Structure formats: structure tokens, C-alpha cells
Structure 1
Amino acid sequence: MALAANENMTEINLENRKNRKLTQEKALKVNLDSRIYGTIVEIGAGQETARQFFNAGAAAGTVAKTMSAYDMQFSDDVYGKAGRYVSRERCEQMLQHEYALLIKRLDQSRGEESCFFSYAATVTARSYSQKNECHGWIGVRRQLTPHAEPSEIILHVRMLDDTNRQQSEALGILGVNLVHGAYYHADDPKAIIDNLQDGMGHDKRIEIDLIHFSGPDFAKVENRLMNLHLIHSWSCRAVMFAPSGESIVPAAALRKKDTVVIRGSFKPPTKVHMDMKEVAVKHFSQEEGVELDKILVVAEITMNELSGRGEDADSDFLARVDLLNELGFSVLISDYLRFFRLRSWIRRYTQSRIGIVLSVLDFDYLFAEEYYEGLEGGILEAFGKLFSDNTNVYVYPSIRNGKLITLDSVDVGDDLSYLLKHLTHNRAMVSADIQDVTNLQISAREVIKQIPHGRGDWENCVPEVVAKRIVERKLFGYQDDVSEK
């Protein structure tokens, strides 16, 4: 056992040295690039990014100034008032102020040969006095060529290490990766994202759940696709979009909200989905403590419903998000296939009530014991996590083989029938009313097959605004006058 422990420690030490070397090499490459020159300002976890550049050597060629305005009065005097100190607003204030100062003081003396940058971080890391949510806003504003208009990258992070020292170290590594990527992967935003976790090791240390590219160098970047790529790159497990279409931080969107989640492919959103939304909100608003005007309704699409990569897959994804936004939904894209994982993720951000809406047809795998392979407690463990504290599942009826199936009539097998009775008796599972029985005949899979053939009966299966947008923007392969070709 001692030998195995020593071998394990040796592997860990080698991995740590490898990671430190990678970060040092990136920082040194920036330092030795005579074009790159700027300021680094960090609030909340020490000057870790600056330290990485100084430790690498030759930092005098890169760093014009470093600063930490920790005191709120100092911070306000330098950057102006902000609603919250750890916020996107404050990070952008820092970037704008520091970059403008660089141009004012140095453009005349070295603007011909320099590509100026400002890096800013405002975070709340682990402290001795409280077990707070450890998160922050990080950004870089930089020129790619001398005298060019700057472009900007902003991201929101959650720090997952247990101690302040570890979190600070991870933030320093992230800062080096961001500055390095902003210059050396400038023409490939996905590569910038892919390299943000370099040097972190195998353990998950930083979660990035929002990224935003702006400025002339990123004029053609579709930020929703970049946020989707955060999941592809394993930077996070879920991203969110507001009804306006803007990427939003899940913690801010879900905080203190009673949340209803409707899972589906939404390809396209149909009248069934709207019925599910209405009936779920009706039931949910009757739960103890829930106020109708404070309910957040979220349409969730799992990554396995977004199969494929490339332009067609991107267009498909954007079409679904756009249509759901038109219908007033917030949109969640997640990598959580199993419902109890999704519920645990939501509970991370809100202690308020959670409602999950699903079709009775989802019981095919919800009550399939093989669906929970790998869990020590199997289906009982999964259901214990799904239905704990203030969580309800609303079950929408469906038609299979011409027969209406509801929560009351669904067959889950003899072995699990008493489990189902327990859940329904205690209102953990609630039978959803049928808004319009004719809508139960609608199948999104059939609708999507009909759309490429032009105008037709499929338009009666989707909300009016969805049909209009599909025709106007030729979504999902729609073509005009197919019958005449």
C-alpha cells in the first residue's frame, strides 16, 4: 500500500510540474512578444495572473502596470460606482478605464509598435469568515495590431477548489490562458475556449458558464454558439439564454426563483409544448409558497438532442433557441441526460420550489432500472434525489397506438407499481390536465418531416408565430413551392 501511495504521489507531482511548465511557457511567450503591452488589474483573489507573468521572466516587456483596488472606496474612486462589485458591470468598467488610460499615456510614445491590452478580474474567492459562492468576472480588451480598435472577451467563472490559495492559483492560470488565447488564437474563438483550461490538471477547478466576444475582430462571432461550445469543451455542463436571446449566468437567472423546467427536443416547438407550459404553470402556482408572477419557465434541451457539428447543426440549434425565445421561454442547454442530475444542478442555484414537466411517454426510460446503472442505490437512489425537498414532477398525458395514456393509467410493471403509487399519493408526481385533447395527436417528429415540403398541415401543429418564422427564415429545411419543382 505504501508503494502504491508513493507511486500515486509521484504521478501527481509530475502532473503538477507539467501543468506549471505549460502555464510558464505561455506566459513567457507573451512576455517575449515585443508587440504585447498592457495592464493587469485584479480584485478578490490576489494578483495571481500578474504573478504568473512575473514568475515566467521578462515581464517588463509586457506589463505596464498591475493593481488591486480592494477597498470599495478606492475601487469606486477609480472605476465609478457599480451595483455589485463582483459583476459584469464592474469588470467592464475596469477594462474600459484601464484601456483608456493606456492609450492616453502610452499611445504617443509606443503606439506604433505596441498592441495594447487590459486584463481585469473581479471575483469573490473562498474566505475565512464565510462559505460564499465563489465566482467572478474575467475579461481582456486588446488590440490585435497597433492603433487598431480593441476587441473584448468577457467570461463568468465559478471556482471549485476548496481553499483560497488553490482558487487564486487557478484564476492565475486562467488569466494567462485568456491573454495568450486572445492574441495567438485570435482567428479561432473556439480554440480560445478550448485552451482556457490548459494547465489546470485533470481535476475540475474552474467552471466557465458564460463567454462573450465583442469588437471588430469578433464581429462575425455568434456568441450563442460560443456558449454552446463551453459545454462541448467541458468548461461547464449547462448554459442559459434569456428570452431576449442573450446568454445569462445560470446562478443569476435561477436565484430565488420558483422554476418550471420543460424538457424536449423542441424541433420545432409545437402546440403540445405550449399546452405543457400552461398546465404546468397552473399546477405549479398552486404549490405552497409559489407566486404566479415570480415563476421562471425554462425550456431545456439536452446535448444528445443536439447531435452533430458543423453549419447545419449550428443552424438547427439557433433556430430552436430563437423560436423558444419568441414564445417567451428562457432556454437551458444541458449535458444532464438523467432528470435527477438536472434537478441537482438547478438546486445548486435556488432553494425555491422546482417543477419538472415531462410526457408520460418518458416513463419508458424514467422507470427503466437499466437507466440508472452505476448508481449504488439504483432507481431508488435516483428517485430520492429527484423528488427531495420542494420538487414536483408534472406528467403530461399522451396517445400511444390510439390509446390515451395518463399518469393514472400508465403501466410501469408490477415491480415498480407501488413506487409509482407512493409518488402519486404524496404528490411528488402530479397528473397534468389536458388543455386540448386534439393537440395530443401532434408529433414534433412528424412535423419536422413535413416542413421541407413547404406550406401544409404542419402549420396547424405549431404556434402561429413559430409557423411564421419557419416560413420567413426557411428554418429546418423549409422550401417554397416544393410541389412545383
Structure 2
Amino acid sequence: EIDMINFSGPNFKEVDNRLMSLQLIKNDMTDAVMFGPDGNNLLPAAVLYKKNILALRGSFRPVTKVNLDMFEKSYDIFIRDKGVDQNNTIVIFEITLSNLKASGEIDEQDFMDRAELLCSLGHSVMISKFQEYYKLVEYFNNYTKNRIGLTMGVNNLVDIFDEKYYRHLSGGILEAFGKLFFKDLQVYLYPMKNPDTGQIMTSNNVKVHPRMKELYKFFKYNGKVMDIIDYEPDVMHIFSRDVLKKLMNNEDGWEEMLPEGIAEIIKQKQLFTRKTEDQEAE
């Protein structure tokens, strides 16, 4: 296993180390890679060791105001936990390898565009092979015994309680949940507005499969799922896919859906709109 790779020096000035990280995970040389805001690769074992970890999973295609609201509000709750030392805490914006495979194959330019924006906001990024959340938590637990928090939306929480993701485990969903909610793991739940009824969906009224209701109640009433209540209602409607559609169709209105400065970077560097050599050849 190769956990990290970095090229430096005058002969490698054209090499982007984030792309080199992607090659490691694409070629099954490691399960997860990380890079910092400066674009340099990080050794996960060193960065995560004995840290409190708050992770936010998403496509970040592109990163939006709602992504930042999820991060900021969950971070405020996380660091108020009496067991969390803010100075020993790392925040990770995580993208799964499967999420990068939007059209079957990984689009390296698309990956670089996402990375460019997250780095510009000053965040550490992880690319992982862990499609299921419990595998991500298991990975974190290899390096730390401190607090772990996961920030997610209602749809992600509903997916976690879907048995189909755990059929390969001999213990099924119970085995997965034993690994997911190991020790002090906390889920910070960002609400969602029901597009049909306008109702705000939280941990109190989320709809899980009837067979999972009692299991969900167990974790809910044992404090494993905490609602983010001071969210910004004006950004709840924003989804990356809608922003990307507007951007690619040259429609108005996408700029105000993004954090400050992000729209300018997208325009300046033509992110998400440049064609790759393969696309131009078609």
C-alpha cells in the first residue's frame, strides 16, 4: 500500500500532486488520500492521529452555500462538546471515488475543478473508496480514539437505514451500525424542505423504512443523531446539481448560490465548462 505521493522540485513544477493522489486511489494502491489547502498531499495517518474529526461528505460539484452552512453550523456544535479540543480537531471535506465516477469513468478535469474550489476555501480534502459511511468511520478509528462527527443531510441519513447496502455483511445492518456508531460517533443532521409539502424534514419526522423505525428510534433517543437547528433557511433549496446545470447551460442565477469568491474562480479558470481532449475529439 502507498498512502501518499508528492513530487517537488524544478523538474516537477507542472505536476499537480492532487492528481497524483487520485492515481493512487484509482489504481487500488490505497483506500483514501488527502490533500491540504495548498494542494500538497497529506499522509492520512499523520493528519488523523489522535485527532477529533468532523467529516462532511458531498459531491461539491461545485461547493455551494448549503455545503458551507452545513460545515459551519455542525462545526460550532462539534467544538462545544466537552470532549472536543478545538486545537486538536480536523475538518475533512470527503468525496467518494464512486461520486467521482459520474459517467462511468473518472473525469480528472472535473476532479481537479472540485479540488480547486475546496482548496481555495482553505479546507482539507479526502478522496476515499468508502461508499458506506461505516467503512469511513472504521478508517478514522484506525487512527484516533477521540470524537468523530459526521455532517449529513436527511437523504443521506435515510440511505444509511436502507438494508440493501449491508447485504454483503454476515450481520447485515446491525453489524454495520455496530461499526458506524462505535463509541462516541455523532451525526449532525442538516434539515431538508420537502419539495411537495414544504415541510421541514428533521430527525423528528424523517421517514425511514417501517422495519427500521425501532432501530432508528434507538439511535435517535440515545443522542447519536443531533439536528442542526440554526441553519440558514434561505440556502436550503440549493443543490450542486442545479448549480452545475445552470452553469453549463449558461443560465443566470448560479453565482448567488455559491460561497463568496467561488463564482469568480469558476469564471476566471473556466471550471466545469472546459472540454477535455477526449471530449473535443468526439
Gaps of 5+ in 2: 276-282
Please state how far the C-alpha of 1:448 moved relative to its aligned partner.
Answer: 0.3
- 2:255 is matched with 459
CA distances 1:277-308 after superposition (whole Å, capped 9, x unpaired): 11111211122321234321100000011116
Q: 1:432 to 1:308 in 2, by over 3 A?
A: closer
- 1:297 is matched with 91
- 1:142 is matched with none
Q: 1:328 to 1:222 in 2, by over 3 A?
A: closer
SS at match of 1:352: coil
Counterpart selection for 2:125 from 325, 331, 336 = 331
2:152 is equivalent to residue 362 of structure 1: no
- 1:341 is matched with 135
SS at match of 2:91: strand
Please state how far the C-alpha of 1:239 moved relative to its aligned partner.
Answer: 0.2
SS at match of 1:211: coil
Instruction: Quote the Cα distance in structure 1 between the aligned partners of 2:126 and 2:225.
Output: 23
Match for 1:466: what amino acid? Answer: I
The structure in which a higher percent of residues are strand is 1
Counterpart selection for 2:74 from 280, 302, 308 = 280
Q: 1:437 to 1:223 in 2, by over 3 A?
A: same
Q: Does the CA contact (< 8 Å) of 2:158 and 2:207 recur in 1? A: no
2:181 is equivalent to residue 352 of structure 1: no
Q: Does the CA contact (< 8 Å) of 2:6 and 2:40 recur in 1? A: no
CA distances 1:90-141 after superposition (whole Å, capped 9, x unpaired): xxxxxxxxxxxxxxxxxxxxxxxxxxxxxxxxxxxxxxxxxxxxxxxxxxxx
Instruction: Quote the Cα distance in structure 2 between the aligned partners of 1:374 and 1:312.
Output: 25
The structure in which a higher percent of residues are helix is 1
Match for 2:123: what amino acid? Answer: F
Provide the TM-score with structure 1 as the length reference: 0.54
- 2:213 is matched with 417
- 1:436 is matched with 232
CA distances 1:196-221 after superposition (whole Å, capped 9, x unpaired): xxxxxxxxxxx101112344554433
Counterpart selection for 2:270 from 474, 477, 483 = 474
Instruction: Quote the Cα distance in structure 1 between the aligned partners of 2:166 and 2:24.
Output: 26
Q: Does the CA contact (< 8 Å) of 2:17 and 2:39 recur in 1? A: no
Match for 1:420: what amino acid? Answer: Y
Instruction: Quote the Cα distance in structure 2 between the aligned partners of 1:215 and 1:420.
Output: 53
Counterpart selection for 2:183 from 368, 389, 393 = 389
- 1:254 is matched with 48
Q: Does the CA contact (< 8 Å) of 1:254 and 1:350 recur in 2? A: yes
Q: Does the CA contact (< 8 Å) of 1:258 and 1:296 recur in 2? A: yes
CA distances 1:219-247 after superposition (whole Å, capped 9, x unpaired): 43322111111111111010001122210
Please state how far the C-alpha of 1:478 moved relative to its aligned partner.
Answer: 7.2
- 1:38 is matched with none
Instruction: Quote the Cα distance in structure 2 between the aligned partners of 1:439 and 1:395.
Output: 15
Q: 1:478 to 1:223 in 2, by over 3 A?
A: closer
Q: Does the CA contact (< 8 Å) of 2:100 and 2:106 recur in 1? A: no
Please state how far the C-alpha of 1:395 moved relative to its aligned partner.
Answer: 1.1
Instruction: Quote the Cα distance in structure 2 between the aligned partners of 1:351 and 1:412.
Output: 30
Instruction: Quote the Cα distance in structure 2 between the aligned partners of 1:236 and 1:250.
Output: 11
Provide the TM-score with structure 2 as the length reference: 0.91
Identity %: 39
Q: Does the CA contact (< 8 Å) of 1:453 and 1:478 recur in 2? A: no
CA distances 1:401-426 after superposition (whole Å, capped 9, x unpaired): 23321111101132211111111111
CA RMSD between the two structures: 2.1
Q: Does the CA contact (< 8 Å) of 1:396 and 1:434 recur in 2? A: no
Match for 1:361: what amino acid? Answer: N
- 1:238 is matched with 32
Instruction: Quote the Cα distance in structure 2 between the aligned partners of 1:295 and 1:454.
Output: 40
SS at match of 1:442: coil
**Which structure: larger Rg?**
1
Please state how far the C-alpha of 1:434 moved relative to its aligned partner.
Answer: 4.0
Match for 2:201: what amino acid? Answer: I
Instruction: Quote the Cα distance in structure 1 between the aligned partners of 2:144 and 2:96.
Output: 21
Alignment of 1:137-148 (within 5 A): none
